[in-house]
């Protein structure tokens, strides 16, 4: 405390210079990690925006997004790169974490680029699941069939 007072008296000219370098360097960057158990798509990459489908709705994550934890639903993840290009992936389920330091971890149980999906197969599976739903009365089995229907519907919607 004494030293600070001494310094202040002794060096009145020395002003504490406020550094705006942090703000001037531009918006905070998002460190984006996106992986499935078998593949890493992005590892601590700098991207502009990521759109994710969650159980509570789809939302876009920009740098400095409020921290949140969400679980994913079947849907399309769109990654917008700094140069304006975008890449789309279909995720089945998993979680997304946005941290206070703007790092984002998107961990999917199954994630594939859109062009690896076959719309005809998805439509066929959708019909099969719908007929399964009609044929069962057990609540748990019905719920499982309904989950499969919604997943296949999401795939068909993503590919159309």
Partner 1 sequence: MITLGEKPGVPHRRHHADIQPVLEATTSKMVAYWRQAGLSYIRFSAICANAVRAALKPQFKTEAIKAAEASVKVLKPKTA
- Nearest-angstrom CA–CA distance, 86 and 69: 24
Is residue 53 within the footprint of partner 1 (CB under 8 A)? no
Would you list the DSSP string of 27-85? SPPEEEEEE-SS-EEEEEEEEEEEEEEETTEEEEE-TTPPPEEEEE-SEEEEEEETTS-
Which DSSP category does 89 fall into?
E
Q: Looking up tokens 């019909």, which residue turns up? A: 127
Q: Is 127 in the site for partner 1 (CB under 8 A)?
A: no
Q: Which of 14, 26, 140, 160 binds partner 1 (CB under 8 A)?
A: 140
Q: Which region, judged by CB under 8 A, interacts with partner 1, from 16-24, 59-67, 76-84, 118-126?
A: 118-126
**Per-residue mark of binding to partner 1, 12-51 (x: CB under 8 A):** -------------------------xx-------------
Q: In degrees, to the nearest 5, what angle opens at C-alpha 107 toward C-alphas 132 and 114? A: 60
Secondary structure letter of residue 21 according to DSSP? H
Question: Can you tell me the distance from the alpha carbon of 45 to that of 110, in angstroms, rounded to the nearest whole number?
Answer: 20
146 near partner 1, rule: CB under 8 A: yes
Backbone φ and ψ for 82, nearest 5 degrees, come out as -60, -30
Query: Given candidates 93, 96, 98, 104, which one binds partner 1 under the rule CB under 8 A?
Result: 93
Q: Is 112 in the site for partner 1 (CB under 8 A)?
A: yes
Residue 53 or 63 with smaller CB distance to partner 1 = 53
If the CB atoms of residues 29 and 125 are measured against partner 1, the closer one turns out to be 125
Does 71 engage in binding with partner 1 (CB under 8 A)? yes
User: Which residues lie near partner 1 (CB under 8 A)?
Assistant: 37-38, 55, 71, 73-74, 90-94, 109-110, 112, 116-118, 121-122, 125, 129, 139-140, 142-144, 146-148, 151-152, 155
């Amino acid at each position: 405390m004494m030293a600070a007072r001494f310094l202040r008296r002794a060096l009145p000219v020395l002003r504490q210079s406020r550094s705006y370098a942090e703000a001037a360097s531009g918006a905070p960057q998002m460190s984006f990690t996106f992986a499935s158990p078998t593949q890493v798509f992005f590892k601590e990459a700098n991207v502009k925006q990521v759109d994710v489908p969650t159980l509570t709705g789809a939302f876009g994550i920009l740098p400095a997004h409020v921290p949140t934890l969400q679980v994913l639903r079947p849907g399309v993840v769109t990654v917008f790169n700094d140069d304006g290009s975008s890449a789309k992936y279909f995720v089945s389920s998993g979680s997304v974490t946005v941290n206070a330091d703007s790092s984002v971890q998107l961990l999917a149980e199954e994630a594939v680029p859109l062009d690896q999906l076959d719309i005809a197969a998805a439509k066929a599976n959708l019909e099969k699941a719908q007929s399964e739903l009609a044929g069962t009365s057990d609540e748990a089995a019905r719920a499982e069939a309904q989950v499969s229907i919604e997943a296949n519907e999401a795939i068909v919607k993503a590919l159309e």
